[in-house]
């Protein structure tokens, strides 16, 4: 999956790149795509350095909180990973290599636990800032649907400063790994629904579960990892930002993220809100439904962009089956799949203020799961007499009768959005 950043030459600041590494993901970030366009007229006023003084001060708020992180020595981690043996490597991305290791438990020295050790390979301020951000965020934020950071290492040696992060080990890798054809056994439909719920719960906690708000900013399937019980947890917080404060409606940042996931208003203006994560979550739901990536250059031209490919299939309930992941071999609930797509559509409304909050999304996903597990039939809609046989009056009455998620005649509602195409000069680099 490709990652991108946009940078305005006329602004002072360091170029920003992104990473797509996770504790068990082999996704690699690359350069930008010309289809993701940004308004140059707005970039002069909105684009600011990602590493501004205000940004550094805002994350200092988190670092002042009590942390239970363990400080590891580089020697300990070399021993835990057999000197960072290639045979112990479980993933590699823009941040660096990720290795499986074994350490002694602090509570019981006789007990050993598996960990994931992420080693910073990219030098410079960019990599350091992402490392600091992860330590500050995951050092004080803990939730069942966030990967737990156990400790860190920052130590000088003959090669310079070694920066590493130590996480709980997630043996079932990333969701993206399982949606790809590399795994012979596809994710069952029930597991996909549970993953959607877990991911929504993690985002809802970041957005609404604390006295401060954290915007993930790089939500994608490769950053959702699965533990031994197939619980989904969000990972890779190097690009996270604190949400707006002091009555502000958004945070102005350099535009970073992964192509296919980023919200259109964020791409065009650099204005970041929690609703940007909601858009990314909507894209992710279609990944679960279709088994396809948001952008896949290996497919035919008309099928490369996921959202454009699914759109014509949503106008007809009979066509909807054609977008469902063929690897499921028909083993799914069509009703719950339609409802899941409907939730995705609400997340993908072009006007960001009209998108639901993640707590509302979580409620919708939970209701779908409950109705599927209980097998309770969908409430039947009562027919009302038509007072006028004109097309307009019929349409108005039908709008009052249909499920607001599913739409008329059982067809899914698709809020059309078309990003404004403008020409602008951008710099970008390959990670």
Query: Please, are residues 32 and 259 in contact by the beta-carbon 8 Å criterion?
Result: yes
Whether 363 is a known active-site residue: answer: no
Judged by DSSP in three states, 303 sits in helix
Instruction: Tell me how far apart the alpha carbons of residues 155 and 74 are, in angstroms, rounded to a whole number.
Output: 7
Q: For the chain, how many residues are written?
A: 431
DSSP lists the bridge partners of residue 165 as 118, 152
Is 11 annotated in a binding site? The answer is: no
Structure tokens at 277: 């994560």
Q: Measure the CA dihedral 308/313/314/316, to 10°.
A: 150
Using alpha carbons, select from 202, 207, 261, 258 the residue that is nearest to residue 226: 202
Residue from 89, 118, 93, 113 nearest 103 by CA: 113
Q: What is the CA radius of gyration of the chain?
A: 23
Region class of 429: left (phi > 0), else alpha (psi between -120 and 50), else beta: beta
Backbone dihedral angles phi then psi of residue 96, each to the nearest 5 degrees: 155, -165
- How crowded is the C-beta side of 95, counted as CA atoms within 13 Å? 34
- DSSP β-ladder status, 70-71 and 149-157: parallel
Cβ proximity of 154 and 74 under 8 Å? no
> For residue 431, what is the enclosing H or E element?
none
Tokens representing 151?
Answer: 């400790």
Helices 358-374 and 274-290: crossing angle, nearest 10°? Answer: 30
Interacting residues of 293 by C-beta distance below 8 A, sequence separation 6+: 1, 176, 179, 221, 260, 287, 306
DSSP code per residue over 354-371: GSPPHHHHHHHHHHHHHH
381: Cβ contacts below 8 Å, ≥ 6 apart:
401, 402, 403
Q: State the Cα–Cα distance between residues 129 and 40, nearest whole angstrom.
A: 27
Element (H, E) at 325: none
Please give the Cα distance from 64 to 75 (Å, whole number).
28
- Asked whether the beta carbons of 26 and 408 are under 8 A apart, the reply is no
Q: Which of these is catalytic: 177, 198, 218, 277?
A: 218
Residue ranges for the binding site for ATP? 118
Catalytic residues: 218
Residue ranges for the binding site? 118
């Amino acid at each position: 999956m490709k990652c991108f950043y946009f940078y305005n030459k006329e602004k002072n600041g360091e170029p920003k790149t992104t990473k797509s590494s996770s504790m068990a993901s082999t996704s690699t970030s690359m350069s930008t795509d010309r289809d993701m366009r940004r308004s140059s007229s707005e970039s002069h006023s909105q684009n600011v350095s990602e590493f501004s003084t205000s940004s550094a001060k805002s994350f200092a708020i988190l670092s002042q909180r009590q942390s239970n992180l363990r400080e590891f020595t580089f020697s300990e981690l070399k021993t835990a990973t057999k000197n960072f043996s290639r045979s112990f490597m479980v993933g590699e991305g823009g941040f660096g290599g990720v290795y499986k290791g074994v350490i002694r438990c602090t509570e019981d020295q006789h007990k050993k636990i598996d960990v994931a050790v992420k080693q910073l390979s990219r030098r410079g301020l960019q990599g350091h800032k992402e490392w600091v951000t992860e330590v500050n965020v995951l050092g004080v934020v803990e939730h069942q649907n966030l990967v737990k950071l156990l400790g860190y290492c920052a130590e000088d040696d003959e090669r310079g400063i070694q920066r590493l992060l130590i996480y709980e080990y997630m043996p079932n890798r990333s969701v993206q790994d399982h949606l790809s054809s590399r795994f012979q056994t596809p994710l069952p439909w029930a597991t996909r629904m549970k993953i959607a719920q877990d991911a929504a719960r993690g985002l809802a906690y970041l957005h609404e579960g604390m006295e401060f708000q954290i915007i993930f900013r790089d939500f994608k399937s490769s950053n959702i990892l699965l533990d031994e019980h197939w619980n989904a947890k969000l990972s890779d917080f190097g690009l996270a930002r604190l949400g707006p404060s002091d009555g502000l409606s958004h945070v102005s940042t350099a535009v970073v993220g992964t192509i296919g996931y980023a919200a259109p208003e964020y791409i065009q203006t650099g204005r970041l809100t929690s609703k940007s994560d909601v858009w990314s979550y909507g894209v992710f739901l279609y990944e679960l439904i279709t088994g396809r990536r948001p952008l896949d250059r290996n497919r035919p031209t008309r099928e490369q962009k996921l959202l454009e490919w699914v759109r014509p299939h949503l106008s007809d309930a009979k066509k909807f089956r054609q977008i469902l992941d063929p690897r499921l071999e028909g083993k799914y609930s069509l009703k719950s799949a339609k409802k899941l797509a409907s939730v995705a559509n609400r997340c993908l409304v072009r006007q960001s203020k009209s998108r639901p909050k993640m707590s509302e999304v979580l409620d919708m996903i939970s209701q779908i799961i409950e109705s599927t597990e209980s097998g309770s039939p969908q409430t039947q809609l009562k027919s009302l007499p038509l007072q006028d046989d004109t097309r307009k009056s019929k349409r108005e009455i039908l709008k009052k009768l249909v499920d607001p998620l599913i739409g008329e005649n059982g067809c899914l509602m698709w809020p059309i959005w078309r990003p404004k195409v403008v020409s602008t000069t951008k710099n970008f680099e390959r990670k």
